[in-house]
Structure 1
Amino acid sequence: MMESWILISLLVIPGTVSAWSVTFETRTSCVLKGSSVEFRCSYNYTVGETVRKTVWSKGGFKNGTWKRTELSNLTSYEGRVQYLGDQLHDCSLAIHDLQDNDTGYYYFRFDTDTYGWRSRKSVYLSVTELSARVIPNTVRAGDNVILECGTSCQLPTTVWFKDGHPVAKPEFQAQAEDSGKYSCAVKGQESVQSDPVALDVQSPPLNVSVEVSHSGQVALGSSVNLTCSSASNPAADSYTWYKRTDSSSSQLLQVGTGQVLSLPSLEASQTGLYLCQVRNRLGKNNSTEVLLTLHSSNSPPLNVSVEVSHSGQVSLGSSVNLTCSSASNPAADSYTWYKRTDSSSSQLFQVGTGQVLSLPSLEASQTGLYLCQVRNRLGKNNSTEVLLTLHSSNIHHLILPVGIGVLSVIVLLLPLVIVWAWRRKSKSAVDKEDDSPDYENISNILVGQKNKATQKEMPV
C-alpha cells in the first residue's frame, strides 16, 4: 500500500509542476546605449499557490562557472532597474540609461510557499552605439557629401543633426555654411545621438567686412582703427587695405596690410572710401567699401553770418552794430571785418576785428558792403556780404543843403563871370587895334582899284 502511494505521488507531482512557466515576449533586444529597454514577461503557476518573491538576475561566468547574480546585488544597476510586473502573472522589467556592460543574458525567478521557479530560457540584451560618418569629411564648396549612420544591429530610420539642428537630407552639395559637427539618432529616440563627426568645407574668404572703431563720422585728429574680418577656411594668409582715390573713380590705392589698419591721428586727407581684401590659398575676396568722414563739429568755421542791429536802411548818425556768428568747433580764434571799396570792385580793406563791429555814429562814407571772416585752428571762412545803406529821408536831407549851397554859389559867381567876360571882350578889341601895322602894301591897293574899274566896263 505504501509503495502504491509513492507511485501515485510521483505521477501527480510532474503533472502539477508542468503548469509552472516563464514566458518572454522577445528573446533578444538590441538597444542604443543611453536609452531604455523593457523586457515583456509573464509567468504561471498552479492555482492555489501564492507568490512570495520575484527576482531578475543576470547570467555570467564566474571562475569558469555560469552563475546567475540578482540585479539587486549588482551596484552598476543601482537606480536604473524598474520592476514593472506584479506578484500575480506579470514579470516585466525596465532598465534605463543602458551602458555597454549591460549586454548579456537576463533570467527571471519567482518563489511561492511551495516552490521556487526560475526560467531556463533567458532574454539576451545587446547594447550598441550609433556610429556617424561623413564622406568625405573635408571638401571644397560645391562638392557632394554623404552622411552615413551605422550600428551593430538593425535599427529603424535614422535622422541627422548639425550642431544640434535637424538636417533635411543625408546627401547634399556642401557650402561653406555646412561646416560643423554632425550626429545621427534613431527616429523617435532623438535624445540619444551618436558621437559627433566634423565636416570641413573649404572655400575662398567669405563675408569679408570692415568694422570702424568709431561709428559714423570721426573727429579730426582722433585715433581710428579699421578691422577686417571674414569667414575664411582655410585661414586667411593676408589682409590688404585699399582706399579709393576718388568717389567717382575706379582706381584704388594700397594704404596698408594686416587685419587692422590704424590711423593714429586722422587727417582730412585720410577721409574717403576704404575696403579690405582677404586672401587664402583658395582665392581672395573684397569687403564692401566703408566711408570714413570727418565729424561736422570738428572743422573750419561753418555757417558764418552777419546780423545788423538795424534791419533795412539805417538813419544817418545812428549807432549800428554788426555781429558775426558761426558754427565753429574748435572755437573761433579771431573775427576780422572787411568792407568792399566799391560794389563793382573785388578789393577789400580791413575795417575792424572782434565778433562785433560798432559804428557809434553812422556817416555816409561808412555805408556799403561788409563781410566777416572767422578763423580757427582748422581754417577760415567768410560770411556773405551785407549791405549797409542810409534811409532815403536822410539822402533828401543831405541833397537839399548841397543843392541850395550850389545854387547860392552860382548866383554869387554869375555877375562876376559876366563882368569878367565883358572886360575880356573889350580888352580884345583894343588889343586888335593896337596890333594893326603902320604901313600898307600899295601894290595890293592899286590892283584892287583896277579890278573895280574893269568890272564897271563889262556889259550887263
Structure 2
Amino acid sequence: MAVWDKNLLWSFMFLLAGAVGQTVIYPLTSTCAVRGSTVTLPCTFTPRKSFSDGWREVPLKIVRVRWCKNHEICQGSTPSVFDINSTNSDPRYQYLGDMKTNCTLQIRDVQQGDSATFRFRMEADHPEGHFINRTGVTVRVDDGSKIIIISSSDDKKLSRGETVTLLCASVCTFHQLEVTWFKDGHTFSDTGPSLRLHSLTAEDSGNYTCALKKNMKTLSEPYSLQVEAGAGGNLPPIPGVVFVVLLAVIALVLFIIERRLRAAEDQRAAEPS
C-alpha cells in the first residue's frame, strides 16, 4: 500500500474514532415540571480528545459549554439560557456541570415559557471539537392546579404513638416542590413536599392542606386525619390504676358478703324445725 494511502487510512480511522467517542447523553428526553418549582435536566458529555490534520494528531480542549432553548444548533449568536462565557445568563438557569463530563442544567422557579426543548452544546478550541445532540430534553410545564395529598397510611384513623407521612404532589410530580403546609388553616414551617408526623397524639387530629409556595391558588383539598386514643386511652395513668384497685376492692367485698350469706343460710337449714 502506498504511503499516501496509509496516511489517508489513518486519518479516516482517527476521524471515525473521534466521532464515535464524542457524545452528549440526556437520560431524560422529556420531563414534566410544575410552574414555580425546580426541575433538573441530567446530562453527560464525552468531548473529542483530538483530531488529525493529515500529518499529526492535534489535541482538543473544551473552552465553551452552553444550553439553548428551541434551537437545534445552538451556535454563534443564538440566544442561550446558559453560556459559560457570558455573565448575562438568567439566574433561574443554574449550570450544575463542568467542562469535562457533566452538563446537567437546573431550572428554578419554572415558568410557562420554559415549555420548550433544551439542548446542550460543547465547543472546543478548534471547530473539530464542537458538538451538539439535537435530540434535547423537552420540558412540559404544568400549572399545578391539581395538588393532592397522599398519605403513607391507607387508614385516616390512626392510633396514638404511630407515625404517618403526608406527601404534597401534583399530577406532574412531587420532586423538588416547595410548598406551604397548613393544619386547620395554621401554617407549618416545613416547605418540603413531605410532612412527617411521628408519635401521634390527639392534638395531631385535624384537616391538613398544602399549596405551592409561590402559587397559593393551588391549595389542595383537605386531608382529614383522626388520631384515636386507643384502648384505655381515655384514662390517665394514675386514675386508671385507682380504677382497677377499686374494682378489686368491690369484688372482694362482694365475695365476703356472698360467703356470709351462704353461711347464714346453711346455719338456718341445720336448725331443727
Q: TM-score if structure 2 supplies the norm length? A: 0.47
Q: Which has the higher contact order (CA 8 A, sep 6+)?
A: 2
Structure exhibiting the larger radius of gyration computed from Cα positions: 1
